[in-house]
Structure 1
């Protein structure tokens, strides 16, 4: 019986201690809760304010970037239009130069020099300046009715350093001759427009 009584007393004491501890714990939670809530609420409010600022700055930055991209796109469109216009004018200028120098005979364009005789090398250089090359001997028949003297020609492809220079001439109504000539001799020349 003594042991039961001791057990009951210990249980009662434990019960009283536990309820006091729980009550103190609840009181501390309420006190801490009120204190902590005030501090945490300020932190939450500050975080919300910062989030709004970040959103506003992000929105302004996106708007500024979008304006810059639109500006860049407009500049690119303008540059593209300008480039197209420059190309168009360049082609028109080139065509007018060709009309001034070149004559269309058949499906090709030729420049027949009528003012100044040149050696083979100068004739090649002048044709390059006019965006052409010396006429190929196989095309000479296209213009043979327009010429009556010796003209520089190339045989097939233009070598870097020629071993022989060739001239072609119409010496009569129907006779056309090809001859190996001195490259430094002065002859007329005919340029054929490059097809590019």
Structure 2
């Protein structure tokens, strides 16, 4: 605003200096003297301009004071927030109870039981082919079980019916002889094959079931019980 006032002042001076000149295409009429700046600023014009400049200067002081007040408020809020954060961190450090990351919290579907550190649903009555069993598990937010080692298998078998067949998620449907976990696409590192397995009888056996502690490849349309597992393997 102060800059604008100065510009208005300069413009007013120019108008007052040259306003009385007679202008032609060749410039001022020869012989007419330029008016004195002092004469043009005498009287009421100068007084009015002076009052305008005083008014702008007064408001500029108010604006500066307002900006300083806002800045002080922001700095005070920042100090208060930093203090509160420090208090929270101190309390958490002393108790050791940091909140668990939501990404690490496993959402367990209903009817699943914990076996060691994992959760399983063991179907005990309804028999499905491999595709139906896989879809059943997905609808519950899970997948067919992907057993990773002999100890994990042994713990699961304690909850199975003796001499029953249970679908697992292992399959070589994509590439013959390359068994992967359908839940993750990773190569199966643990395959506890029964005698003579896998034999891929008639080139039609691509899905794996667990029977009395061993793995067997079978036709995927065979109906059997199954085991679902909550959460994907890392």
| Pairing of 1:31-180 with structure 2 (within 5 A) | 32=38, 36=42, 38-50=44-56, 52=58, 59=66, 94-95=107-108, 97=109, 100-137=110-147, 138=149, 139-148=152-161, 149-155=164-170, 156-158=180-182, 164-170=206-212, 176-180=213-217
Over the aligned positions, Cα root-mean-square deviation in angstroms equals 4.1
Deviation at 1:131, TM superposition (A): 3.2
Question: Using the alignment, how far apart are the partners of 1:34 and 1:55 within structure 2?
Answer: 30
Distance change in 2, residues 1:133/1:50 (3 Å): same
Q: Which structure would you say has the larger Rg? A: 1
- CA deviations over 1:65-105 (Å, ceiling 9, x no partner): x9xxx9xxxxxxxxxxxxxxxx98xx69x35x3xx321111
Measure, in 1, the Cα distance between the counterparts of 2:139 and 2:60.
Answer: 64
The change in CA–CA distance for 1:135 and 1:50 in structure 2 (over 3 A counts) is same
Unaligned 5+ runs, structure 1: 1-27, 71-86, 171-175
Residue 20 of structure 1 is matched in structure 2 by none
TM-score by length of 1: 0.51
The answer on whether the counterparts of 2:128 and 2:224 sit within 8 Å (CA) in structure 1 is: yes
Matched residue pairs, number?
Answer: 135
The alpha carbon displacement at 1:168 in A equals: 0.8
List structure 1 runs of 4+ shifted beyond 3 angstroms: 32-35, 50-60
